[in-house]
Structure 1
Amino acid sequence: MKTYLSCALFCLSFSAIPAHATSIELGGFLKANARYVDGNIAYQDSWAGDGQVAPSAKRTQFSAQESRFNVRLNHEQIIGFAEIDFVGSAQGNPIISNSYAPRLRHAFIQYQGFTAGQTWSTLVNTSSFAETADLGGPLVGQAMVRQAQFRFSTTHWQFALENPYTYGTTRPDNQGQTQWIDTNNDYLPDTIIRYNQTGDWGNVSVSALIRYLDPDCSRQWGGGLSVGAKLFTLGRDDLRLQLHYGNLGRYVGTDAARDIIEGEIETSLSGMFAYRHFWSERSRSTIFYGRTTTEVEQTDRHHWGINLFTDLTPALSVGIELGRYEIEDAIRNAAAPRPRGASNYAQLSMQLSL
């Protein structure tokens, strides 16, 4: 459900100019979470592809920071959209205020097939995201990037130039030390080409990424392929899938894979699936799984979960979710083995859609 406003914008000039109507849609949601984590991977508000292994990580956290607000402007053939939330932007603390600052998610303009501004990367098929209480679902197996870009779209094709950024570490120096890559050499935009097909059966997208990575003048070309789909099955049920392979680095796994490891370009394999079943008109469950493995750093992270959501009213839903996040990275150096771990979680969420 959205709230609609209408207003008239008047342009002043030396001669009289007719007013042009602009419609304004306000949207978003209010979300309250109660989350419990128990294991030896440090607590996260939602499981990304990283994580620190600790002796013990048992914690309960209540939060409303995932609440989200957006505005959509429709003016003749022009669409503008902006959205904020408050995730990961704490300014206060639990002692007094629990304050969170607004965080920009989207801010873009669309006109005659062109999109300019910050939004989901063209590599991301948002319809393939699972319905979860944990924000974003199995992020460790998904393409999950928002960034500034220029994109042209047709009925089936999309072509985009997107913000370049190299995430990773340099080759060891004479003292055997590695450092984070200097991103001052990111000067060629990432290029993405995507094909979409939609029907009564659902939708599928196939994307190709071409990148030029130049940390410390190493001049490396990279590329990767991505598939995303939402497929209708029995009744109202649906199956959601993603599969990614190549030099995708930061584009998939939400920090499970880097672009370059010690000067060598990384290759990753990521995937997720989610099956949603409707028990009734108001109740449904999703079971999901996501995983990323890498060749150079030899990381292996995965996340599974199952949930139950019920609509108390058309605008108000409540859900409970149980799941587990695991780190099973390979041991590359016997002298300094990387710790492995797992944490279980339970989460209760209530969401009011605006």
Structure 2
Amino acid sequence: MQLKKKLALAVVVASMSSQLYAYQVGEVNGTTFNIGGYFKAEGIFNDPDNDDQSFDGSARQSRINFEVDGEVQGHDVKGFVEADFYDDAFDSTDSSYAMRMRHGFIQVDNLTLGQTWTGQFFATAPFDVEMVDFWSTGIGSVAGSGAVVRPDLVLHYTTGGLRFSFQDPLYSDADVPDMVASYTHRTEAGHGFNIAVTGREVQTGLDDSEFGAAVSLASKFNFGSTSLSLSGYTGEGSNVSAGWGYNGAAAPVPNYEGRGEVDASGDLVSTTGFTAGVSHRFNESLRGNIRYGQVTADEVAPTVDDDTLQVTHVNLIYTYLPGLDFGVEWRDRNARTMPLRPAGQQVELMAMYKF
């Protein structure tokens, strides 16, 4: 039973990174050196609600990673670094794209330290369905901005199904780290459940702050070739990671007003979200996913048209060769999400080769 649980966790972690097809390029004194990543070409047809139709093509999501893994005095020690080509800018008119570090961390047994996924991401992403969309993955969950919220420093400690995360605070003058505590349970039948509690100090004024907390539940039910994903969360101080708040779409910008975590009076704004998705594997090569997510703020600014963000994804992904996928995805959102995702419909065609 323990072996099955460990194997399921390993598969989940591999699917969230690019290491599933990583190549071992060498071994020295028991230490292995691996290289992995993928090349992805994407073409997106945009049909915004309030603008002209357009087409965007890019290979910027392509990424490469390098891992060193070995045993040192009885401890499993790993170093991992990964980069893509988005840099800090999202200008699609210039084809000279610089690399940026997505991940850079050290792992010693159950302890992980560095720049990597947040505790919110680990509490929800393993239980979600597969999406082609790079910028709106997770919308409706407490980690809805997982693609853009990646603190400079994260510490994870895992023991059994428990994970404790201490994260570089998004509020630069916070007295304590942002924190996440979560518990995951998996069954032999392939079902999985997670409960998480988040807490962080939120800036409410120039020199004022309050502590906000949220609770999240996520689950995935396995029925052979079909699986069902469900999640929900509610709380305060989670707007920046959830991607929605008082000012609509939220992002980790330096000034607290842009995060939408407080209203015009400086009071914390609470948000509530849920997701529902179905995945089905038609055969060994073809799989499909349908997903709906929404998040609601209890108060929004007068300039925001709707207090609820709603996003729908439908996709088909075909494995043409081992490691080579082709996909098509239709998606619709009722409001702009971060970054560069206008309200309206999109159709994305993609080709991805993992190595």
TM-score bin, normalised by smaller chain? 0.7 to 0.9
Identity of aligned residues (%): 24
Give the root-mean-square deviation of aligned CA atoms: 2.3
What is the distance in 1 between the residues matched to 2:134 and 2:243?
14
Q: Output the CA distance in 2 between the equivalents of 1:110 and 1:287.
A: 35
State the partner residue of 2:160: 155
In the alignment, is residue 23 of structure 1 matched against residue 32 of structure 2? Answer: yes
- Could you tell me which residue of structure 2 aligns to residue 17 of structure 1? none
**Corresponding residue for residue 171 of structure 1:** none
Query: SS in structure 2 opposite 1:123?
Result: helix
1:232 aligns with 2:222: yes
**Is 1:207 aligned to residue 196 of structure 2?**
yes
Higher share in helix? 2
Q: Which residues in structure 2 correspond to 1:249-288 (within 5 Å)? A: 249-253=239-243, 255-256=249-250, 258-262=260-264, 263-288=266-291
2:322 equivalent in structure 1: 314
Deviations along 1:119-173, one digit per CA (max 9) or x if unpaired, are 111122331243122115544313124222222210111122211123xxxxxxx
Is 1:146 paired with 2:141?
Answer: no
Matches within 5 A, 1:332-347: 342-347=343-348
Q: Which residue of 2 aligns with 1:87?
A: 86
SS at match of 2:139: helix
Are residue 128 (structure 1) and residue 116 (structure 2) matched? Answer: no
In the alignment, which residue of structure 2 is the partner of 1:5? 25
Amino acid at match of 1:6: G
Tell me if the contact between 1:310 and 1:319 (Cα under 8 Å) persists in the aligned partners.
yes
Structure 2 residue runs of 5 or longer lacking an equivalent are 1-20, 251-258, 301-305, 337-341
Report the TM-score when normalising by structure 1.
0.78
Q: SS of the counterpart of 2:240?
A: helix
Q: Describe the SS at the equivalent of 2:206.
A: helix
Instruction: Give the aligned partner of residue 101 of structure 1.
Output: 98
Larger radius of gyration: 1
Deviation at 1:259, TM superposition (A): 2.2
Partner of 2:7: none
Q: Secondary structure, in 3 states, of the residue corresponding to 2:132?
A: coil
1:330-349 Cα offsets, whole Å, 9 max, x none, are xxxxxxxxxxx841111111
Query: Counterpart amino acid of 2:295?
Result: T
Match of 1:65 among 60, 82, 95: 60
Contact kept? 1:282, 1:311, Cα under 8 Å: yes
Task: State the alpha-carbon separation in 2 of the partners of residues 106 and 128 from structure 1.
Answer: 21
TM-superposition CA deviations, 1:33-70 (whole Å, max 9, x none): 11101123xxxxxxxxxxxxxx4141101111111111
Secondary structure at 1:127 match in 2: helix
Question: Do 1:71 and 1:83's aligned partners in 2 also have CA atoms closer than 8 Å?
Answer: yes
Query: 2:87–2:99: 8 Å Cα contact kept in structure 1?
Result: no
Which consecutive residues of structure 1, in runs of 5 or more, have no partner in the other structure? 9-19, 41-54, 167-182, 329-340
| Alpha-carbon distance in structure 1 between the residues aligned to 2:327 and 2:120 | 29
8 Å CA contact 2:225, 2:282 repeated in 1:
no
**TM, length-normalised to structure 2:** 0.77
Secondary structure, aligned partner of 2:30? strand
